[in-house]
Amino acid sequence: MKILFIHGPNLNFLGKREPEIYGTDTLSDVNSMLLKEAASIDKGIEPEFFQSNSEGEIVTKIQDAFENHNGIVINPGAYTHTSIAIRDAILSTAIPVVEVHISNVFKREEFRQKSFISPVSVGVISGFGINSYTLGLKAIVDFLKDK
């Protein structure tokens, strides 16, 4: 089972970026945690990690996942609230997607409460710190196993 993790803009700055909101773990800590978690759930899970600050690169990566990955866990960062292009890429490939956020976007500014990605996702996990990613991994794996 191939799972693609997509980290959107500014997530390469995890650990340095607004630590009171996003914590002190780095993106590489998150990816290491996910590798361990995946192996403990099922040795057949093959995680791949991708980070980009560019909307177009994220669209291309989602298109590349067509026929190569079974599921996607994405934190689209600020593109969550703006990107029709990422939403259309998800619809185009029809790959099951779980949307994750480190912070609880519903507790924050009003502009963060609108997601273009949620309506085309299997589900959304928001507000559990970096544990949102492990919950996202479990959610996509369970969803794909039940399919």
Interface residues with ligand DQA (CB under 6 A) are 10, 75, 77-78, 80, 101-103, 105, 112
Nearer to ligand DQA, 62 or 102 (CB): 102
- For residue 48, the tally of other CB atoms under 10 A from its CB is 15
Least spacing, CB of residue 103 vs ligand DQA, in Å: 3
Residues tagged active-site:
22, 101
- Give the span between the Cα atoms of 47 and 106, in whole angstroms: 28
Q: Is the dihedral of CA 23, 26, 29, 31 positive or negative?
A: positive
Nearer to ligand DQA, 41 or 78 (CB): 78
Element (DSSP H or E) covering residue 92: helix 84-93
Least spacing, CB of residue 101 vs ligand DQA, in Å: 4
Element (DSSP H or E) covering residue 26: none
Tokens of 82: 């703006």
Nearer to ligand DQA, 44 or 119 (CB): 119
Least spacing, CB of residue 139 vs ligand DQA, in Å: 16
- Give the span between the Cα atoms of 145 and 81, in whole angstroms: 30
